[in-house]
Structure 1
Amino acid sequence: MAAAGLTLSTAAHAQSLAVWDDLTFEGQSAVIQQLNKEFEAAHPGVTITRTARTFDDMKLTLKLAVSAGNGPVVTKVNQGAGDMGAMVKEGLLLPLDAYIAKYGWDKRQSDSVLARDRWSDTGQFGQGKTYGISGLGEMVGLYYNKKILDDAGIAVPNTFDDFVAALDALKAKGAVPFMIGTSKQHLALHMIAAISQAHIDAGKRATLDDLIYGRGGTWKTDGNVESAKLVQHWAKDGYFFPGFQGISSDDAVQLFVSGQGAFLISGTWYFGDMQHNPDIHFMPVPAPKGISKPMTVGGVDLAWAVTSLGKDQATQDLAGAYIDYMVSEKAAATWANAGYFPATALPADAKVTLTPLLSEGIAMWKTINANDALGHYPDWASPTMLKTIDDNSPHLLAGDQTPEAFVDALDGDYQAYLKGKK
């Protein structure tokens, strides 16, 4: 890898590489800035011109910027029909299969993970050419504050029934069962999806896979309705932190880190923040009895991709080398040392001091992958699914939309997408 990079840098001479990423949290930003400096040092004459955008800003601006010719050459892009799928369809992303072969990325990450960045020429998600690769692994799980549970005399739950009982007991004792904020970002989406998918055994995952990959199916299942019904109950009946409707997800996390709630459902991308409170731990959302291999929402973070603004081979090769460094074992060790969860396996000789939280995450990742239980983000299912969920979840939580109507809205979006594909 190093030799290839040095050869490229000699040919590249003075060159600027425009890169967009969504690594806006303070800890994440520090890591990517370090990695960019290391890449520049290994490629004399190359300057990384970095633009950091939040997830929501990236969704709003990326496709328009690339279409207009003033966007990045290398970018992070959300998987799924709404972003990567739409950009592939419009010819705004370049396939990376040649760089997968050149650098051996398929030896660093599993085929099932890489499949989340594949689109066929006919617009089929999960197959065909590969348009991205991610640097960080992601799982949506259950954060819990062990001190709050201990002080309330409540054990860490083993089953979903235990979990529900723990929430009831916390509320009865005057503690805040759930920290959540719904004014910005997507904690409500992650909560509903994580509960629903924890009720699916990996041996019966085909229905969920077909749904997310756009092969067909329906959102109108008992599991989705019951999950929406339970979350609505918690929101209406005082299980959530007071004023959650006016709190962003990021602010909710900071409140949780300060000890203002017993549980929070979200992803491993908050490990860098959560590690500052040693009482906070991470586990899968508990599964009901009888589900031996429960699904876990997740996969990988937004993928590194090369846009159509990489007009010549030299620029494309520089972009390929940059992405290679971002998913290298060295980069993985850098992320792990900062408390984050890399998608590329750590090298055997890596000198990494794992935080307790990251150790829990890595153990969970190994179990989930061994069980083939890595699930999906529901917004990947259609180009407009994220907006549909965001538009309807406030009404669900406020109690002015029934769980059945909420699920009907998701299914209406999906069926319209399927019809439009034909």
Structure 2
Amino acid sequence: MKRHTRSAAALAAVGIGAMLLSGCSGGASHDEDTLVLWHYENADSAMGIAWNKAIDIFEEETGAKVQFEEKSFEQIRSTASQVLNSDEAPDILEYNKGNATAGLLSSQGLLTNLDEQVKKYGWDEKLAPSLQTTARYNEDGIMGSGSWYGVPNYGEYVEVYYNKDMFADAGLEVPTTLDEFESVMQAFVDEGITPLSEAAAEYPLGQLWYQLALTKADRDWVDAYQLYTDDVDFEGPEISYATETIADWTDKGFISPDSTGLKAEDAGVAFISGDYPIFFSGSWWYNRFNTEMDADWGTFLFPGAEMSPGSAGNMWSVPEKAQNKDLAYKFIDITMRPEIQAIIGNNGGVPVAANEEDIDADSQELIANFNTLTERDGIAFYPDWPTATFYDELNAGLQELLNGTKSPAEVQKQLGEQYQAGVDDIVG
């Protein structure tokens, strides 16, 4: 295995950042009646609102205090290995899911094995099997099997957002097949409208590419791609169809070549402004569209696919060096209660254990689509997850595809070599 070399390099790389973070902090208080908690959610986000309520309940029921320390996503991502291996470790933190993050730390012995607590509190019974994948890691830190090292209490997935007003003006219905979807996009092109709001400088186009591959894929292919259970053929029908279709849709005017320089925010704002009728992106946009978009809009799952990009959200983890683990477990359990789950659902988030009757009508479509995916084992994770560098490599390859500087076959060959090199670095 090459994992140990990779782990040592990761520790060295974050050393300076960790010192900077600890230098900015007065140090975590570890009184036996104080829970030191880190997370990076905005106070007005669905999770921020819900977790603030959970803190109130926790303090009232336990008599303990919560010392919340707000950290940025980047602070936690870049310094976790060093900080969690010190006396500065919090008692509980929101941590990133995946092999390169939670998996890496679990393999280094920096996260607490939660198997006993999962059974005690019944958290496994509240999470669909596909949502448990990113919470469990084997001894090499590869997700999907082994012990629990985190507990997610929200979900996320990618779906199609559409401008109902623009569809109505064009006399178009929501498509239910991929052929119908292409016909809808062609109808907009015929009216001089580019249908898809896209961005190739960040994640949106990569997720569309992966979604197209999923229209030809099954769970075995996803497991091979994400969990290294088998070799992945980048010239096979799944990836060939995805890459060739992106090129074809660009040639047809469904996707603008100008998307090469656009970021996710650019694409989302363009959809809000009514410049494009369709935006394929994540559930994290839902509440923003609800509050900022003047036009009537709706959502639907990608036509012709049983699976979509998505996963359980980032999760609560307990550092191995946490000093108040029992308090941490109690806090996690509170965030899994129906009343906290309902707050997530009614503020634009995707709860994993809410009672349907507690969810407002405006939020039901978002949650219903997610439930449809989980019920049919349709959560397929994200295209960049397999390796630490594939996010940038995929974006770069798709930018070349849109620019026409490389053919679909050349892009596939390039991506296949980069993917395999990254996987070999992990599993040897």
CA distance in 2, matches of 1:62, 1:241: 39
> 1:229 — aligned with what?
244
CA distance in 2, matches of 1:283, 1:196: 18
Contact 2:130 2:374 in 1 (8 A): no
* SS of equivalent residue, structure 1 residue 382: coil
Contact 2:200 2:206 in 1 (8 A): no
Task: Say if 1:75 and 1:210 are closer, same or farther in 2 by CA, change over 3 A.
Answer: same
CA distance in 1, matches of 2:246, 2:257: 15
> 1:49 — aligned with what?
68
Q: How many residues align?
A: 395
> 1:290 — aligned with what?
none
Q: Which amino acid aligns with 1:265?
A: F
Q: Which amino acid aligns with 1:205?
A: R
Q: Mapping of 1:241-256 within 5 angstroms?
A: 243-256=258-271
> 2:173 — aligned with what?
155
1:21 corresponds to 2:40: yes
1:270 corresponds to 2:285: yes
* SS of equivalent residue, structure 1 residue 19: strand
1:260 corresponds to 2:269: no
1:116 corresponds to 2:123: no
Task: Say if 1:98 and 1:410 are closer, same or farther in 2 by CA, change over 3 A.
Answer: farther
CA distance in 2, matches of 1:249, 1:25: 21
* SS of equivalent residue, structure 1 residue 140: strand
RMSD of aligned alpha carbons: 2.9
What's the CA shift string for 1:98-151, capped at 9, x where partnerless? 221121101211233213321112444311101112121222111111111111
Unaligned runs of 5+ residues in structure 1 are 1-10, 288-292
Choose from 211, 225, 228 the match for 2:225.
Answer: 211
CA distance in 1, matches of 2:53, 2:268: 25
Contact 1:94 1:305 in 2 (8 A): yes
CA distance in 1, matches of 2:297, 2:38: 34
> 2:185 — aligned with what?
167
Contact 1:12 1:318 in 2 (8 A): no
1:354 corresponds to 2:361: yes
Q: Which amino acid aligns with 2:308?
A: T
Contact 1:257 1:273 in 2 (8 A): no
Deviation, structure 1 residue 163: 1.0
* SS of equivalent residue, structure 2 residue 348: coil
1:366 corresponds to 2:380: no
Contact 1:125 1:214 in 2 (8 A): no
Choose from 189, 199, 205 the match for 2:216.
Answer: 199
TM-score, length-scaled by structure 2 = 0.82
> 1:325 — aligned with what?
334
Task: Say if 1:73 and 1:379 are closer, same or farther in 2 by CA, change over 3 A.
Answer: farther
Task: Say if 1:378 and 1:244 are closer, same or farther in 2 by CA, change over 3 A.
Answer: closer
Q: Which amino acid aligns with 1:83?
A: T
Task: Say if 1:282 and 1:121 are closer, same or farther in 2 by CA, change over 3 A.
Answer: same
Task: Say if 1:281 and 1:219 are closer, same or farther in 2 by CA, change over 3 A.
Answer: farther
Q: Which amino acid aligns with 1:354?
A: A
1:282 corresponds to 2:299: yes
CA distance in 2, matches of 1:370, 1:18: 33
Deviation, structure 1 residue 236: 6.2
Percent identity (aligned): 23
Q: Which amino acid aligns with 1:125?
A: M
Moved more, 147-156 or 322-331: 322-331
> 1:305 — aligned with what?
317
Unaligned runs of 5+ residues in structure 2 are 1-29
Contact 1:97 1:130 in 2 (8 A): yes
TM-score, length-scaled by structure 1 = 0.83
